[in-house]
Amino acid sequence: MTVMAISTRGPADDQKTSIPSLFAAVIEDARDLAIGHLERMQHETAGELKNLKHALARTAVAVAIVIVGAVLGGHAIAQGLIELGLLPWAGYAIAAGAGILGGLILLSRFPKDRTDLDLVPEEALASLQRDAKYVKDATAQPA
């Protein structure tokens, strides 16, 4: 969605207008353009904040479940190794090592695409830069 300012003045009005009114119209158009970009940034940031909240909630629930499961699973593995004849400390050490290795593998597989979780409105900023360049280029050309 590109925000473009449209002047409400027609060609016949150009001959009747003064320099101050032309500057006022340019400033009003720039203001409208800036407000449009700010609103877009606000909407994009709000969407990313919603995504971040959902991701944090899912992560918290997942971490709680994994902790309980890891403690119970580690204890069961250690008890099984002890029943097979290992010393208690060795059974628990092997179970702890397996748990740590499993946790590291899970962390390495965490999604790398976190662009919608950073609260930076990349699309709106790119649009603002594009429009600013367009305005700069349009004003730099001779009449």
**pLDDT range class, residue 15, cuts 50, 70, 90:** low
Contacts of 102 (CB under 8 A, 6+ apart): 70
Residue 58: phi and psi, rounded to 5, are -65, -40
**What digits encode the pLDDT tens for the residues 87-119?**
999 999 998 898 888 888 888 887 776 655 666
**What digits encode the pLDDT tens for the residues 30-43?**
888 888 888 888 88
In the predicted model, is pLDDT for residue 10 greater than 60?
no
Task: Check residue 7 and give its pLDDT.
Answer: 52
DSSP states along 130-141: HHHHHHHHHHHS
Task: Check residue 1 and give its pLDDT.
Answer: 47
